[in-house]
Structure 1
Amino acid sequence: MNPKVDDFISNTKKWQPEIEQLRLLLLDCGLTEEFKWRNPCYCFQRNNVVLIGSFKEYCALSFFKGTLLQDSNGFLSKPGENSQAVRFFRFTNLQEIQELKPIIKNYIYEAIEVEKAGLKVIFKSNTELELVEELQIALDKNLSLKIAFKALTPGRQRAYNLYFSAPKQSKTRETRIENYIPRILDGKGFNDCICGMSKKMPNCDGSHKYIGEENK
């Protein structure tokens, strides 16, 4: 068990019993527990499989490649209109989780088999910017971040997406996204000045590098 998840659950004001039960189910299925995007995340061989989410009206299991699951019971739903990969399994009470325990485990095991088989989500080609998976998940999870990102110019969106998609490791991509969330929420582009001293506003010209030296 990850201590950061312990802290998350202890500080959760709503859905605490439900989240604890879902956590036990996921661990019982053999997944590794991590803490990403400020939520409990469960992985198989370092690949993200499912995220526990807490919302106002429900808590949920968010399957990263949910669109590849058969969903013969019809429990999965899209987190957003344009979501092509992630699917939610929503819960509104502890009894519901306990009664659906065998079915929930089947979904989890199927998601693990998807990773074992190395299956990938094939995104539909369109004229819109195709975001790196980790960024799309972060936007689906955080409405404020999604609104702020959509408010950026297409060029600024592309710059962020290019920077976030560069690393080969998913964990590195996640870290980059996490580090730049405050900047996006402030409406700043990746190459924008944030110190106010640039002579090429709004672009950064490296002036921030000399602020510390001038104050010495």
Structure 2
Amino acid sequence: MDKTNKWAEELLLLRQIIEPFPFEETIKWGSPVFTFNGKNVISFAGFKDHFALWFFNGSHLEDHASVLIATQGDKTKNLRQWKFTDRSQIEESVLKQYIQEAIDIEQKGLKIIPGKKEYLPIPALLQFALDQEPVLKKAFEKLSLAKQNEYNEFIHEAKQDKTKLARIEKIKPNILGGKSLHDQYKK
């Protein structure tokens, strides 16, 4: 819940504000997650420089106080976070409005409908590696377009060529095994 033991009082205050709402509390990813009708609604945790409350379906919140952020910009589709650096920033009445709105959103069943995914071209360094190793190229071509695109994105995201080359070496075994980028993390 608090990775630094710095925000214990603040997180206790958030918990006290949340407790009256009709949530079921679970632990996921090492933090308390408050669910409503089996759906993740909110969670909170403490970090080095801040503590935060996040709303899993937060993109639907009206955000009247302009406090919510998408932590990874355009990559974050639905999750919204409210960061705090001081206890005085917690406005209980405003927070309760946001929590109630989050519950209302779950009751309405609002969800993000993902748009059609754009596929990236094969990065030049990956294409070079594929051209140099016919077995790797054949294995890559056997992968679904979605799996190929996972690898393309992974390489495109690296800013430096040396990082791209290191990533290419890292993904070769998965490609040769016909696996997706994150198969090792799936059960």
Question: Which residue among 7, 13, 27 is the counterpart of 2:5?
Answer: 13
Structure number, greater radius of gyration? 2
1:36-69 superposed Cα distances (whole Å, 9 cap, x missing partner): 1110100111111011122221111111011011
Question: Which residue among 114, 124, 144 is the counterpart of 1:123?
Answer: 114
Q: Does 1:89 align with 2:82?
A: yes
Question: Which residue among 98, 117, 139 is the counterpart of 1:107?
Answer: 98
TM-score (norm 2): 0.63
Contact 2:56 2:78 in 1 (8 A): yes
Alignment map for 1:1-216 (pairs within 5 Å): 8=1, 13-81=5-73, 82-97=75-90, 100-127=91-118, 152=171, 156-157=179-180, 160=183, 183-184=184-185
TM-score (norm 1): 0.55
Cα distance in structure 1, aligned partners of 2:113 and 2:46: 28
Contact 1:27 1:33 in 2 (8 A): no
**Which consecutive aligned stretches of 4+ in structure 1 deviate over 3 angstroms post-superposition?**
151-160
Identical aligned pairs, as a percentage?
A: 29
Amino acid at match of 1:51: S
Cα distance in structure 2, aligned partners of 1:30 and 1:95: 26
Shift of the alpha carbon at 1:158?
6.2
Contact 2:4 2:48 in 1 (8 A): no
Cα distance in structure 2, aligned partners of 1:63 and 1:88: 6
Cα distance in structure 2, aligned partners of 1:30 and 1:12: 29
1:105-141 superposed Cα distances (whole Å, 9 cap, x missing partner): 11100000011111111223222559xxxxxxxxxxx
Cα distance in structure 2, aligned partners of 1:41 and 1:84: 19
Change (3 A) 1:14 1:159: closer
| Structure 2 gap segments, 5+ residues each | 120-145, 148-166
Matched length = 135
Shift of the alpha carbon at 1:12?
5.3
What SS does the aligned partner of 2:96 have? helix
